């Protein structure tokens, strides 16, 4: 069963370099522009770039999300698709180290099929 759903709210249609903006937009149920403004202003206040995990993570934290690291018991055998199947309810932003995607109610929302990527951590909505 494919759990991936195409999702790209970018007004320009691009899908490279803005995965955190797309993920935050989906997780917060807002548009791309609002998510970008939230992340950019957090970056400005933190004196860091918007793509920094700490910056966009601070936006999620402000909205009640909690971060959890995944155990490294099998770092190459647990995919984002596995995570989605194990989390059929709720909202999660899953990070791989160089990419993030949002999972809502067991579906992976991303501009490309990232289901086989290996997650390292996740943010869970409250």
Report residue 119's pLDDT band, with 50, 70 and 90 as the boundaries: very high
Q: Are 59 and 37 in contact (CB under 8 A)?
A: no
Give the integer Cα–Cα distance in Å for 19 and 97.
12
Give the integer Cα–Cα distance in Å for 21 and 15.
10
Each residue's pLDDT tens digit, 57-116: 999 999 999 999 998 877 678 999 999 999 999 999 999 989 999 999 999 999 999 999
Where does residue 61 rank: exposed (0-12), middle (13-18), buried (19+ CB within 10 A)?
middle
Q: Annotate 92-109 with DSSP letters as a single string.
A: EEEE-SS-EEEEETTEEE
* Predicted pLDDT at 100: 96
Report residue 37's pLDDT band, with 50, 70 and 90 as the boundaries: very high
């Amino acid at each position: 069963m494919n759990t991936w759903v195409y999702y790209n709210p970018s007004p320009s249609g691009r899908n490279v370099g803005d995965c955190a903006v797309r993920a935050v937009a989906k997780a917060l149920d807002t548009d791309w522009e609002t998510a970008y403004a939230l992340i950019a202003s957090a970056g400005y206040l933190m004196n860091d770039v918007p793509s920094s995990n700490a910056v966009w993570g601070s936006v999620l934290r402000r909205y009640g999300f909690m971060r959890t690291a995944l155990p490294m018991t099998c770092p190459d055998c647990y995919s984002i698709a596995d995570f989605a199947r194990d989390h059929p309810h709720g909202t999660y932003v899953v990070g791989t180290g160089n990419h993030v995607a949002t999972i809502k109610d067991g579906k992976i929302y991303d501009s490309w099929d990232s289901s086989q990527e290996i997650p390292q951590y996740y943010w869970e909505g409250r």
